[in-house]
Amino acid sequence: VHRLRSVDNLFVVVQEFKDYQFKENKEDALKDLEDLVKNLPWTDPLKVWELNNSLKKKKTKRKKPNLQSTASKEKLNEDGEEEGEDQKDASKEEDCAQNAAGAEPAGSQGSEKTEGVASRSGGEEEEEEDNEQLDAKEELQAGSGRETKAGDGKTSEGEAKVLKFRVTCNRAGDKHSFTSNEAARDFGGAVQEHFQWKADMTNFDVEVLLNIHNNEVVVGIALTEESLHRRNITHFGPTTLRSTLAYGMLRLCDPQPTDIIVDPMCGTGAIPIEGATEWPSCYHIAGDNNPQAVKRAANNICSLLKKNESKESSSSLGIPLDIIQWDICNLPLRTGSVDIIVTDMPFGKRIGSKKKNWDLYPACLTEMGRICTPGTGRAVLLTQDKKCFAKALSRMGHIWRKAQTVWVNVGGLHAAVYLLKRT
């Protein structure tokens, strides 16, 4: 499952409650969550967690501790530089907090701040969907050299080792009387008491997840240390797409060996880099009109090549991808020469504007129609500006036929991926 390309985070489910009845009173609701801990079926999920650790140890050499600090990664987030997409929905009632007994967070329900604990904190969390952790957990799992068993709390040498843990709570919904901080704190306290584990927000062996979405509650144990969508990108831009979503878009158009695949608005290159990595027998061409974006994309390719070199893999010879600065309205490509176009269009929020999209989208569809092979060519386009897109497409019936629409959540926004076939 770690090789699945469209998965952001993996966890094993301890128990799922489809219609959990939260008490209205905060104290009562939190007490119920606390009481839940001792009644959950932990044994099998912990075996899966243990198996996951042993597989990881076989698969990877011991990793060096992750030198990039949580703080510096958070800085990227604050700047809006790293997050999967630019678009955020401030109306969403969502938050995330990590906690465990003994780590009392600051902040009230109103602010949802989680200062003092290792988390992405503050108002930003209310707006975001994903709450993945960035901590250097592998230090523990690969670095100590001691096999840790969750069940008996012993190392392979027989000595007792108290496991370290943290609880991460992701909460979404406006009907809860408690914050994610409070849920994580009280649930964490009960976990500590139940297992006699030690709370540690940064160096933990076990990460217990408490996901609350309206009336749905899922308790899980994390199997991934870092969100898998970050795999290709080192130089982030304001609208960098998740590699996992890029993979899904590429897959939707079913690339065949020798296909020419173009991303005409590539930004930092998330789509073509994922494409060149996963479909190396296709040729990938990408461009953007913003020189800074082209530079970032080129830097991302360089980083990937360096990484491949150190792995001595077959791909260390290079990747089948060119990046060019161009304008989508006038592409330097021959008519009918491209098999597939996959792109993430400006939503008109951080990049461009909704007003500009009324001119840009029809021009894009016309030029993409020109370069795409009639009869077999296809395009997969992502946008949140659905109204503008629908209008532009309705005038292009002679060039493009809509074959499928897939709804996607991009950074909390309701966006669409359209699969178009060239007529």
Residue 249 binding ligand SAM, by CB under 6 A: no
* Residue range at the interface with ligand SAM (CB under 6 A); choices 139-147, 168-176, 307-315, 323-331: 323-331
For residue 84, how many other CB atoms are within 10 A of its CB? Answer: 25
Of 171-200, binders to ligand SAM (CB under 6 A) are: none
Residue 265 binding ligand SAM, by CB under 6 A: yes
Secondary structure (3-state) at 325: strand
Q: Tell me which residue of 158, 146, 133 sits closest to 57, measured CA to CA.
A: 146
Among 289, 337, 409, 423, interactor with ligand SAM by CB under 6 A:
289
Residue with the closest Cβ to ligand SAM? 267
DSSP letter string over 295-322? Answer: HHHHHHHHHHHHHHHHHT-GGGG--SEE
Angle between helices 26-39 and 180-195 (to 10 degrees): 30
* Residue range at the interface with ligand SAM (CB under 6 A); choices 264-272, 298-306, 368-376, 412-420: 264-272
Which tokens in the block code for residue 82? Answer: 């790293």
* Residue range at the interface with ligand SAM (CB under 6 A); choices 40-48, 129-137, 216-224, 284-292: 284-292
CA dihedral over 88, 296, 71, 219, signed as positive or negative: positive
Gap between the terminal Cα atoms of the chain: 38
Among 290, 299, 316, 409, interactor with ligand SAM by CB under 6 A:
290
Q: Tell me which residue of 249, 254, 306, 300 sits closest to 273, measured CA to CA.
A: 300
Secondary structure (3-state) at 413: strand
Question: What is the total count of residues that contact ligand SAM (CB under 6 A)?
Answer: 21
Closest approach of Cβ 27 to ligand SAM, in Å?
A: 45
Closest approach of Cβ 344 to ligand SAM, in Å?
A: 4
Closest approach of Cβ 263 to ligand SAM, in Å?
A: 7
Here's the x/- map for ligand SAM, 343-362, by CB under 6 A: it reads as -x-x----xx----------
Closest approach of Cβ 297 to ligand SAM, in Å?
A: 8
Residue type, 241: L
Could you give the residue ranges of the DSSP H alpha helices within 40-96? 43-59, 70-78
Among 142, 190, 223, 270, interactor with ligand SAM by CB under 6 A:
270
Among 288, 339, 367, 385, interactor with ligand SAM by CB under 6 A:
288
Residue with smaller CB distance to ligand SAM, 177 or 290: 290
Among 271, 333, 340, 399, interactor with ligand SAM by CB under 6 A:
271
Find out whether 181 and 112 touch, Cβ atoms under 8 Å: yes
Find out whether 328 and 366 touch, Cβ atoms under 8 Å: no
Which parts of this chain interact with ligand SAM (CB under 6 A)? Answer: 237, 239-241, 265-268, 270-271, 288-290, 293, 327-329, 344, 346, 351-352
